A = this chain, B = another copy of it.
């Protein structure tokens, strides 16, 4: 199967799942459901749920699409939480981003109160959906994995330190902490959940978690590099935004060459984790997509 088909078919499964689990725009109160759907269907790439599927299918063998149905609540929950974090991070009191994927941010399109409540509702919906997983042991495991990823030891912790660090000279360890938590935590939750469904040994779960962490960190470093030297076309947003916002980035702390080397090492290490496993082509593709962006 061509990878193009892999991504396309899995993305459709995920979008159908989101459509199924989200309340209709016609449900009362309509406003909040419109807001939730506006952000969930704003053109996300569905990286986290696709990673969940890819890890599970690497361990279990490539599945027909129906075989993925039991993972669907986990796939949907990951994307709901990712969307919630973007909505809250974009708020004026946080990163104050007026656009997201070329469209108005939720609080601009609606209002701040609706954006706060839509984020709350999406986080809550994620746990509601996970509770639908038919195997109760796996359901509880996934709920523990997701709550850990969102928590102050995960994404929320990363956002707190990111906000505290604005306009400050920070150490490379602090920058790494921010990205590990803001990006790495939910990617690792995807691989952890896939391992929970498969019933993987702890050492496999940890290894694949490291793959997820390296994927997240290398993505962020390359994003920082492109913000420094890239064009609008490659970046998908105006370059130089980070430095204009006085944000410390990998290139500003380590320099461009050192940052590139770090990204390349993370990608190499991630490749070493998966290269001897069968059916690792999708996981390799994730790494290649980042590698190709390095200027």
Chain A residues close to B by CB (< 8 Å): 23, 27-29, 31-33, 36, 84, 88, 91, 93-94, 111-114, 116-117, 119-121, 123-125, 127-128, 130-131, 136-137, 139-140, 143-144, 146-148, 150-153, 156-157, 159-161, 163-164
Known: A23-B152, A121-B151, A125-B147. 8 other contacts (CB 8 A): A28-B157, A32-B160, A91-B113, A94-B113, A117-B160, A123-B123, A123-B124, A128-B144
Number of copies: 2
Among B113, B125, B147, point to the contact of A124 (Cβ < 8 A): B147
A29→B120 contact, CB < 8 A: no
CB of A119 to closest CB in B, whole Å = 7
| A150 contact set on B, CB distance < 8 A | 120-121, 124
Minimal Cβ-Cβ distance residue in B for A150: B124
B120→A147 contact, CB < 8 A: no
A157→B29 contact, CB < 8 A: yes
Known: A111-B93, A131-B140, A137-B136. A160 touches B31 (CB 8 A): yes
A131→B144 contact, CB < 8 A: yes
B94→A157 contact, CB < 8 A: no
Among B94, B120, B140, B159, point to the contact of A119 (Cβ < 8 A): B120
| A91 contact set on B, CB distance < 8 A | 112-113, 116
CB of A93 to closest CB in B, whole Å = 4
Chain A binding surface SS class: helix
B121→A152 contact, CB < 8 A: yes
CB of A106 to closest CB in B, whole Å = 13
| A139 contact set on B, CB distance < 8 A | 140
CB of A58 to closest CB in B, whole Å = 27
A-B residue pairs in contact (CB < 8 Å), sample of 19: A27-B152, A29-B160, A29-B161, A32-B157, A36-B152, A93-B116, A94-B113, A94-B116, A113-B163, A123-B123, A123-B124, A124-B150, A127-B143, A128-B144, A128-B148, A131-B147, A136-B137, A139-B140, A143-B143
Give Cα A152–Cα B32 distance, bound, in whole angstroms.
7
Minimal Cβ-Cβ distance residue in B for A163: B113
CB of A164 to closest CB in B, whole Å = 7
Minimal Cβ-Cβ distance residue in B for A154: B124
Known: A127-B127, A152-B33. A120 touches B117 (CB 8 A): no
Most buried by B among A29, A88, A147: A29
Give Cα A123–Cα B84 distance, bound, in whole angstroms.
13
CB of A188 to closest CB in B, whole Å = 16
